[in-house]
Amino acid sequence: MDLLLIKAVILGILEGLTEFLPISSTGHLIIAGSLLGYTDETSRVFKIVIQLAAILAICWEYRRKLIDVTAGLGREPAANRFVLHVLVAFMPAAVLGFLFHGIIKTYLFNPLTVAGALIVGGVIILVIERRNHTPRYETTDDLDWRAALKVGFAQAIAMFPGVSRSGATIMGGLVFGLSRRAATEFSFFLAIPTMIAATAYDVYKNWALLRVEDLPVFAAGFVASFLAAFFSVRWLLRYISSHTFELFAWYRIVFGLFVLASAWFGWVDWADH
């Protein structure tokens, strides 16, 4: 198999596995892309494509919910309320992302910045998980617009690479009164408009980089990401039914420290990646 196809499959699997876990898919792709030497301009478009695949996996997993909401929109209060809450939560990231997207991509997308964010985010998860939680919203249908907006502002923090969009959203949900499952599922639903908008914006900005000859590489990464995301989401929902998110916090801290140690001891010269 062509080496580039192997890299595409590895990165696709990595994106799918990490996109909805609170460990930062973007951070992992930046680090893995650096190690694999896949950091050219084409790789930027590739990462957009595999993120879209992960989102489509969510759409497939929750297709019945999405179909019911679409069919009831404008007629059923529950469907209208669901869409309103997702859009309200989406707005902070949409506005701040539009204003600061270029600055963040230029100055913060590097392995050492990601490593620091992984560690700090892990510590924050541990602090949140060790508080007493008394959920006020057991399901996503119980949310009000105020809680949705607060979760939306939490998601916006994840524009800093390495924070984790799902991690910020889930932890924000727990802080603002959502049950563990409701926070996780709302993170899934909120990812749909957030990442579709980010994908569309990135495709528009990088349209000139799209090439027909890259189609096999993109297709391999797309399929790998879709399948990995599908199984990752199902596993996560089973896992949180009887566990906290502390395992992910410790993983973030250990992984971040390893990346920093690799730079400190000269194992990897991240400046050359």
Q: What's the pLDDT score for residue 188? A: 94
Query: Looking at residue 137, what DSSP letter applies?
Result: B
Query: Looking at residue 157, what DSSP letter applies?
Result: G
Q: What's the pLDDT score for residue 109? A: 74
Mean pLDDT of the chain: 90
The alpha carbon of 266 is separated from its chain's Cα centroid by a whole number of angstroms, namely 30
Per-residue model confidence as pLDDT tens digits over 56-98: 999 999 999 999 999 999 899 999 999 999 999 999 988 887 7
H or E stretch covering 17: helix 3-18
Mean pLDDT is lowest, of 29-43, 201-215, 220-234, for 201-215
Q: Residue written as tokens 């478009």?
A: 45
Q: What's the pLDDT score for residue 103? A: 77
Q: What's the pLDDT score for residue 40? A: 83
Q: What's the pLDDT score for residue 175? A: 95
Q: What's the pLDDT score for residue 98? A: 78
Q: What is the mean pLDDT of residues 143-159?
A: 93
For residue 138, pLDDT beyond 90: yes
Q: Residue written as tokens 């909805």?
A: 20
Report percent pLDDT > 70 for the chain. Answer: 97
- Are residues 52 and 195 in contact, defined by beta-carbon separation less than 8 angstroms? yes
For residue 248, pLDDT beyond 80: yes
Q: What's the pLDDT score for residue 156? A: 92
Per-residue model confidence as pLDDT tens digits over 116-136: 999 999 999 999 999 888 899
Q: What is the mean pLDDT of residues 181-207?
A: 88
Q: What is the mean pLDDT of residues 165-173?
A: 94
Q: What's the pLDDT score for residue 212? A: 81
Q: What's the pLDDT score for residue 210? A: 76
Query: What is the C-alpha to C-alpha distance for residues 141 and 39, in angstroms, rounded to an integer?
Result: 41
Q: What's the pLDDT score for residue 271? A: 60
For residue 180, pLDDT beyond 60: yes
Q: Which has the higher per-residue pLDDT, 101 or 221?
A: 221
- Are residues 34 and 273 in contact, defined by beta-carbon separation less than 8 angstroms? yes
- Are residues 26 and 168 in contact, defined by beta-carbon separation less than 8 angstroms? no
Helices 180-205, 145-156: crossing angle, 10 deg rounding? 50
**In the chain, what is the greatest distance between 2 CA atoms, to the nearest angstrom?**
62
Q: What's the pLDDT score for residue 268? A: 79
Query: What is the C-alpha to C-alpha distance for residues 149 and 227, in angstroms, rounded to an integer?
Result: 31
Per-residue model confidence as pLDDT tens digits over 4-55: 899 999 999 999 999 999 998 988 998 898 889 888 878 888 888 899 999 9
Query: What is the C-alpha to C-alpha distance for residues 63 and 16, in angstroms, rounded to an integer?
Result: 18
Q: What's the pLDDT score for residue 1? A: 54
